Amino acid sequence: MSGFGPTPPGELGEFATVNLAGRCSVLFALTVVLGLGTFPHPQNPVEVPFEFSRAYGLMLIKVEVNGKLAQMVLDTGSNETIVSPRLVIVKQLALKPAVSMAKGSGYSGTGVIATAFVKLGALNPKNCQILVVDLSDLSKSLGQDVDGVLGMSVLKEFEIVTVDLRHHKLVLK
């Protein structure tokens, strides 16, 4: 048999399935060991400036999401990174597995899990899991546009995260 096309029952079909699973396991192990898909740990700290919002004194940081400039609230108390739908295309089929967020930080809503390329400062963009949520109510309550919340799902990829309040910068190493 050439190995292409359907395999009759009892012939190599089970072996091919196991072989594919083995290849996926090896690929996954290499991804974990080599740290692919995570932000590289820079030799020198990378500094990303932020400013305080007009209302409530929230830290606002400029990042790129899928190549588009975004202003996000820096929130080390948020487990997730949340992004506006204007920055991420979500397929209609992906709207089924919606996630409800608890009111732990005072913000609640329903979102969709997706992936996006996030770029912080001079670092290369990395593909990150994010929540896509309509943030128009948050922007309205802050009195300025906010495109998302930069939370621990992205920040945990760094060894050291320092919020320098005096100099208004996020330092990543």
Q: Which residue has the higher pLDDT, 35 or 68?
A: 68
* Per-residue pLDDT band at 40 (split at 50, 70, 90): low
> What pLDDT, on the 0 to 100 scale, is given for residue 90?
76
- Alpha-carbon distances, residue 41 vs 56, 59, 80, 101 (angstroms): 32, 23, 20, 30
* Per-residue pLDDT band at 7 (split at 50, 70, 90): very low
Read off the pLDDT of residues 88-97 as tens digits, 9 standing for 90 and up: 987 654 444 4
> What pLDDT, on the 0 to 100 scale, is given for residue 92?
52
For residue 116, give the nearest of 124, 106, 125 by alpha carbon.
Answer: 125
Please tell me whether residues 18 and 72 are part of one structural domain.
no
Residue 1 within a domain? yes
Please tell me whether residues 103 and 81 are part of one structural domain.
yes
Q: Reduce the DSSP state of residue 120 to 3 states and report it.
A: coil
Please tell me whether residues 62 and 112 are part of one structural domain.
yes
DSSP for residue 86: T
